[in-house]
């Protein structure tokens, strides 16, 4: 399972009804204000699909967002083998909450400042495991497993030397040699966003509920397209299923291979 935030740029001055739903983040597309929605995504045996969407208000905490999305799995009866989160969820409350729920997860660690913190572990030429205590004031800390992965750039984009990646790990069934590639599977969620944007209704209406409805409809359309493509316009064979994407196109062939449904029950 993967959880991520999808940001849609907002321009103009927000009124009293909009302000609670304007999410502030790093500058993108000429603005620091966005409409935000959090999505829950499933990845299993090469099959990927969006299962839940929630609009995000500026006062919503990351713990509240995760709790709501995970609660949607109760009706679907889906077991979480590993939860993938992006670096935006790296915080003491989130790590502590997921540990309390006993949910296996993988999350990149944020490197802040020039010395100390996570940066003190980014050294050497070999990947390794350690533990780290992250604290913020008295009686506000959490201890977690920290895996440091070393990758050699080998002249890619004209760069050489060692590149470091730091991951927070909790009971995830992976190993040090494959964790970096394993986490990269989460990036398939970006394909669902691109497809969603192709069929999302464009509007200048400023009602947050209506805009979220349009986002939800676009994800439903993508799910239906994926279902039809996988179960109706494909053929079983040894190895990977043969998909006739040109007969029912929605995107490029490379994206088709990234998105296939979990099962009919997911719809």
> Can you give the residue ranges of every domain in the chain?
2-81+174-266, 105-172
Give residue 188's pLDDT: 64
Give residue 14's pLDDT: 83
Give residue 12's pLDDT: 81
Instruction: For residues 215 and 200, give the distance between their C-alpha atoms in angstroms, rounded to a whole number.
Output: 6
Residue 71 has φ and ψ, to the nearest 5°, of -65, -25
Give residue 267's pLDDT: 27
Give residue 261's pLDDT: 34
Beta bridge partners of 41: 2, 50
Residues of the chain with pLDDT under 70: 44-47, 113-114, 155, 187-192, 245-246, 248-267
- The answer to whether the CB of 252 falls within 8 A of the CB of 195 is no
Beta bridge partners of 50: 41
- The answer to whether the CB of 204 falls within 8 A of the CB of 214 is no
């Amino acid at each position: 399972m993967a959880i991520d935030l999808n940001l849609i740029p907002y321009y103009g001055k927000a009124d009293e009804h909009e302000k609670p739903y304007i999410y502030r983040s790093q500058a993108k597309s000429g603005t620091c204000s966005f409409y935000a929605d959090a999505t829950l995504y499933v990845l299993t045996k090469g099959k990927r699909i969006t299962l839940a969407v929630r609009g995000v208000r500026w006062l919503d905490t990351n713990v509240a967002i995760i709790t709501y999305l995970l609660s949607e799995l109760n009706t679907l009866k889906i077991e979480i083998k590993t939860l993938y989160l992006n670096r935006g969820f790296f915080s003491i409350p989130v790590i502590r909450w997921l540990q309390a729920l006993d949910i296996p997860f993988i999350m990149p660690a944020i490197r802040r400042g020039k010395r100390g913190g996570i940066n003190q572990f980014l050294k050497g030429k070999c990947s390794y495991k350690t533990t780290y205590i992250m604290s913020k004031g008295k009686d506000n800390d959490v201890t977690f497993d920290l895996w440091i992965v070393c990758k050699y750039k080998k002249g890619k984009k004209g760069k050489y030397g060692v590149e470091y990646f730091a991951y927070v790990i909790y009971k995830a069934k992976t190993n040090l040699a494959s964790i970096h590639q394993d986490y990269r599977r989460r990036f398939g969620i970006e394909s669902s966003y691109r497809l969603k944007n192709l069929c999302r209704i464009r509007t200048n209406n400023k009602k947050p509920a209506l805009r979220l409805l349009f986002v939800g409809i676009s994800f439903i359309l993508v799910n239906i397209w994926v279902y039809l493509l996988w179960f109706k316009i494909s053929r079983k064979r040894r190895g990977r299923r043969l998909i006739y994407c040109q007969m029912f196109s929605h995107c490029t062939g490379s994206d088709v291979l990234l998105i296939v449904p979990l099962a009919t029950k997911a719809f």
